[in-house]
Structure 1
Amino acid sequence: MRCIRCPLAYHTGDSCVAAGSVVLTHHIMICSSHGSTKRNGLLSSPVNVGWCFLCARGGKLLCCDSCPASFHSECLEMEMPEGPWSCSDCRAGKKPHYKQIVWVKLGNYRWWPAEICNPRLVPSNIQSLRHDIGDFPVFFFGSHDYYWINQGRVFPYVENDKNFVTGQININKTFKKALEEAARRFQELKAQRESREALEQERNSRKPPPYKFIKSNKPVGKVQMHVADLSEIPRCNCRPTDEHPCSLDSQCLNRMLQYECHPQVCPAGDSCENQCFSKRQYAETEVIKTDGRGWGLRTNQALRKGDFVTEYVGEVIDSEECQQRIKRAHENHVTNFYMLTLTKDRVIDAGPKGNSSRFMNHSCSPNCETQKWTVNGDVRIGLFTLCDIEAGTELTFNYNLHCVGNRRTSCHCGSDNCSGFLGVQPTSAVVMEKEEKARNGKHTHEYFCFCCGEGGELVMCDRKDCPKAYHLLCLNLTKPPYGRWECPWHDCSVCRAPASSLCDFCPRSFCSDHEAGALTASLDGRPCCSSHNPLNPLSSDPGSAQPPPQRRALSSSVSPSVRVKEEQSEASAMERTGQRAKE
């Protein structure tokens, strides 16, 4: 369902459409962002809460201009801004939606629990009340009254809010009843949502995610596909009288140089066995559901070392389009990529369009590899076996990940020499020697979060010689940073100026104006901030660093506003400067 006034779009249904939107047809609407800014001739402003959303304490607060959220500037680790300011949720376009339990501020009444209702489902006398675009009806628990309200007077109800509020004084019977009804309705909606998600997951597990099947590479935009003249195609030295001309066991020069023979040029003509790409002589394969690694591809026939398995096909895009697609993927929290570098300025993206090769999983001990062949004057990518493979075996290759968007993803291939992360070489004596050389002369990153000390999907600092990596949640980020990014270790924790003194155990750092007395020496002589007791031997463990506070809303227990789920069954990957990932 698309807005006719701006580029916003939503899935149809109460769980996605922003409350306060005006539905015109099944697919067209005016979204809630286009409401009037005035009420009774006066500018409308939100009613902000009197406590910090992070620490739940009062004091001098930084108030959002679009919703009731309030924060201490020190809790956000930022200076008090001048002029209008919006919280991260409002900047990200997060809106209330129908069938959501919220806290509502109406007149001089206290914050009251209510449910946002679809205007079509409220009584007709409520529908006829005066309201504007962006207004939506709410149903007050306890009193069973309705009222039209806007985003500036509601914020989300979270689990355990009832327990927190019931500890307060001056709670009358009506409000106590409202709290009980809100808690029951919240659990009911939660159960419905979990049931829908379970059904969707079960339905998706029956078949692979949708994509458009294509047989050959499709150029996009200004990308050119090269076609050679027959005079430019090399001629091999095979003879037409050979039993298997240009075969894997022959001495065909074209095969050795990874050139595919042309039937009008090769001496063997149609008997040539080096035309696997053109004739699409693919192995018999099947898309399967793997244990813990999403979908995969297995062979239904025995293969011997060096056999051609399949061609990797998809949309052929240029470097500019590749970066745009990666940026859009990050903005939409997409973590799966299917990109392989074809040439210096061309990339194959098998995400929207491709063949079964897109389902091949990564492995640190693969049984296949990618090879670039020249076919009729243009470069194409094929997958070839590295060893003899029995029928019924899953086919894998090493993605050779080059991290895009500063992300490092955990590897779940299960190989004995698994490196633990995509893009990190497998562990062996030769690799350990190479890693030692890399440590002596090449910039490498740590495999654990500098805040919490745990592994998983990490974002990495781009500053020269900085090895630090972090979880998105530990940085209070909703999506990976795009482009060059430097971690908070290099900015003063007080004023954000360039830091001159750094804590060795957490991202806290200080500039020359604030470093006096901020750091002390640990037992092994390393600088540490006040969060780490130098007399405690455990403080030398980087994992002991305290993670930053996380978002809460009217709850006695901290509840993060953003949850970043580590995808255990999926991996993102890429070869050289392109990307390719598995669902």
Structure 2
Amino acid sequence: SQLLWLLTPCRLMRCIRCPLAYHMGDSCVAAGSVILTHHIMICSSHGSAKRNGLLTSPINVGWCFMCARGGKLLCCDSCPASFHPECLEMEMPEGAWSCSDCRAGKKPHYKQIVWVKLGNYRWWPAEICNPRLVPSNIQSLRHDIGDFPVFFFGSHDYYWINQGRVFPYVENDKNFVTGQININKTFKKALEEAARRFQELKAQRESREALEQERNSRKPPPYKFIKSNKPVGKVQMHIADLSEIPRCNCKPTDEHPCSIDSQCLNRMLQYECHPQVCPAGELCENQCFTKQLYAETEVIKTEGRGWGLRTNQALRKGDFVNEYVGEVIDSEECQQRIKRAHENHVTNFYMLTLTKDRVIDAGPKGNFSRFVNHSCSPNCETQKWTVNGDVRIGLFALCDIEAGTELTFNYNLHCVGNRRTSCHCGSENCSGFLGVQPTKEEKARNAKLKPKKRKLRPEGKHTHEYFCFCCGEGGELVMCDRKDCPKAYHLLCLNLTKPPYGRWECPWHDCSVCGAAASSLCDFCPRSFCQDHGAGALSASSLEGRPCCSSHNPLSPLCSNSSSNELHRSAPSPVRVKEEPETELGQESSE
């Protein structure tokens, strides 16, 4: 297109009579185009419609291009193609008609093997030649825009021809024609030479494609680098008034005010301080998003997982690594992009859920964080922070990380549809799949492929959930110390300003009415009841009979308006698989 030519003029040739443009080279430029300069031409579409004062028309073949049988045929008005209307599943049209290739602008190109109709001769195999490479006496023959020279196999003659008298030669055409009768020696020789030349050109094309693929593998696929989120369409970005931004209790005299090691309330609640509100002012160390205090990283090529990101500096547990930025789109646009990707067989996604109705898509635009791969044993995690009134996503170190280590995080992937994608993270506890939990048989099959190791677990240690049981959000959480209880909570949801000291048990184990030891618990929120108050307080839900309290609809307990609704859990989770953290994110696929 003309727009593409304007963006990359050094690589394209444009037509001075229409917006058409081609990459330079015989494999792209339409045969019959007149080259004026290195970057300007007149394309083959501007040839004269008359020859010797008479209107020209193509010579159509007498068989259907789809079923190879004769009969009542629909002929293209631009090339020799013919079809049975029933083969195209259409009625015979009235007036002029062009085949799909001609409507799409498909043209013959140089170094292409074609069948040519010349005079009363049969359809003959030939190669389209660049006019600059044919003998001078052939170049001087009369011809028009849109005409191109062809070299006939067998006879080794040249002639000028146009698109209306040629159609592409395809592999095994020789075998199809050889079965016909009345084949003379010259035509038989032509078939042999055409088949041989076709294979030579095919090998050259495959070699070029392999070289181009190898060259492209040295650098990541193209995307636009941006430093901050860009809203798309009707998506709104929120900006808080200074009076709405919370003020922490740090002091400018502190050694490191608002740092990781401080007791900054904003940091605990994952709010970034504002320099005009924070008591520490410019000394505040809780402004990583605003000041873009990113770790020094580098995009690398990984083994079997495409592109990845590694740190070039040592990181401590809790350090801010990078912000995940991209285009901020709504749910409708997200679904449309996923649908288009599926239609075009795109398997890499860069989408992260920002809020209930907003998604970050770092595919077309983003920064280095888009290259972070998935791992079932990650060294980083995503956290949602409130920055100047709006939610933003950052990558934070889960542990101490040495310089030169690849950065990873768990995509917590949610698959769209019934597709599942294999995980290639290589972790000892790798689940084997992204998005869809494998069956017992698949887990057993994956276990056989890995060396068996005896795992020693610390006594009494158990896994906690990564979401607050009250609000369903992720972030910095307080864990329940009761044996086998997986629940975790935000300090704010517990009405606490500091983490509790010593052993702490969550309110789920105390009766919500009297505070006594609970004997019946709601599976969908922290409400619970003792023996005295438990009668009729809970009912069986439609989800495997799990008990739920009156705050939930038993028929759809996850879809209630309760703040504990599990569907409202909006910890950063890619919408789908990337195989570069390309997902509604996904692990980057091997290239």
TM-score range relative to shorter protein: 0.5 to 0.7
Shift of 1:100: 1.0
1:84-104 deviation digits (Å, cap 9, x = unpaired)? 443333333222111111111
Check whether the contact 1:4–1:30 (CA below 8 A) recurs between aligned residues.
yes
* Corresponding position of 1:96: 108
Q: Quick check: 1:467 aligned with 2:475?
A: no
Q: CA deviation at 1:112?
A: 1.0
Further displaced range: 513-522 or 440-449:
513-522
**Counterpart Cα distance in 1 of 2:585 and 2:378:** 20
Deviation, structure 1 residue 120: 2.1
Deviation digits for residues 346-392 of structure 1 (CA, Å, limit 9, x no counterpart): 87665565432232235677654544433334554322345665655
The alpha-carbon deviation at position 115 of structure 1 amounts to 1.0
Gap change, CA 1:255 and 1:559, over 3 Å in 2:
closer
User: What is the CA distance between 1:236 and its match in structure 2?
Assistant: 1.9
Q: State whether residues 384 and 391 of structure 2, in contact with CA within 8 Å, keep that contact through their aligned partners in structure 1.
A: yes
Q: 8 Å contact 1:341–1:578 — kept in the other structure?
A: no
Distance 1:453 1:306, change over 3 A: closer
Cα distance in 2, alignment partners of residues 155 and 518 from structure 1: 79
Q: 1:76 to 1:140 in 2, by over 3 A?
A: same
Quick check: 251-260 or 2-11, which moved more?
251-260
**Contact in 2 for aligned 1:65/1:85 (Cα 8 Å):** yes
Cα deviation, 1:459-505, whole Å, max 9, x if unaligned, reads 99999999999999999999999999999999999999999999999
Deviation by residue 1:512-570 (Cα, 9 ceiling, x = unmatched): 999999999999999999999999999xxxxxxxxxxx999999999999999999xxx
TM-superposition CA deviations, 1:258-317 (whole Å, max 9, x none): 321123322233443322223333233321112333222133455566542212345678
- Within 1, Cα distance between the matches of 2:476 and 2:238? 39
Query: What is the CA–CA distance in structure 1 between the aligned matches of 2:163 and 2:570, rounded to whole Å?
Result: 25
CA contact under 8 A between 1:551 and 1:558: conserved in structure 2?
A: no
Cα distance in 2 for residues equivalent to 1:342 and 1:292:
29
Task: Give how far 1:18 is off.
Answer: 1.4
Mark the CA change 1:348 to 1:505 in structure 2 (over 3 Å): closer, same or farther.
closer
- 2 CA distance for matches of 1:321 and 1:506? 32
Q: Distance in 1 between matches of 2:56 and 2:501?
A: 35
Q: Deviations over 1:95-153 (max 9, x none)?
A: 21111111112222111111111122223332333333322221111222222222222
For structure 1, the 5+ residue unaligned runs are 428-433, 539-549, 568-575
Q: Report the structure number with the largest CA radius of gyration.
A: 2
Give the Cα–Cα distance (whole angstroms) in 2 for the partners of residues 54 and 444 of structure 1.
62
Farther off after superposition, 489-498 or 67-76: 489-498
Report the alpha carbon displacement of residue 15 of structure 1 after superposing the two structures with TM: 1.0
The answer for unaligned runs of 5 or more in structure 2 is 1-12, 447-459
TM-score where L is the length of structure 1: 0.62
In 2, distance between residues paired with 1:512 and 1:54? 78
Give the CA deviation at 1:413. 5.8
Alpha carbons of structure 1 residues 405 and 140: separation in structure 2 relative to 1, 3 Å: farther
Per-residue Cα deviation, 1:41-73 (whole angstroms, up to 9, x for no partner): 444333232333333333343433332233344
Q: Would you say the 8 A contact 1:500–1:512 is kept in 2?
A: yes
Judged with a 3 Å threshold, the aligned counterparts in structure 2 of structure 1 residues 229 and 504 are, in CA distance, closer, same or farther, namely closer
2:544 aligned partner: 524
Residues 135 and 148, structure 1, Cα contact 8 Å, conserved in 2: yes
Q: Secondary structure at the residue paired with 2:568?
A: coil
Q: 1:389 to 1:320 in 2, by over 3 A?
A: same
1:41 and 1:388, CA in 2 relative to 1: closer, same or farther beyond 3 A? farther
Q: Is the 8 A contact 1:114 1:182 kept in 2?
A: yes
Counterpart position of 1:280: 292
Deviates more, 1:181-190 or 1:487-496: 487-496
Tell me how many residue pairs correspond in the alignment: 558
Q: 1:244 to 1:577 in 2, by over 3 A?
A: same
For the residue of structure 1 that corresponds to 2:403, the secondary structure is coil
- The CA distance in 1 between the partners of 2:531 and 2:33, in whole Å, is 51
Q: Secondary structure at 2:187's aligned position in 1?
A: helix
Indicate how the Cα distance of structure 1 residues 323 and 152 shifts in structure 2: closer, same or farther if over 3 A, else same: farther
Checking the alignment, whether the CA contact within 8 Å between 1:333 and 1:479 is kept in structure 2 is no
Q: Is the 8 A contact 1:55 1:75 kept in 2?
A: yes
CA distances 1:409-459 after superposition (whole Å, capped 9, x unpaired): 8876677998998765677xxxxxx99999999999999999999999999
1:536 to 537, 556, 571: 556
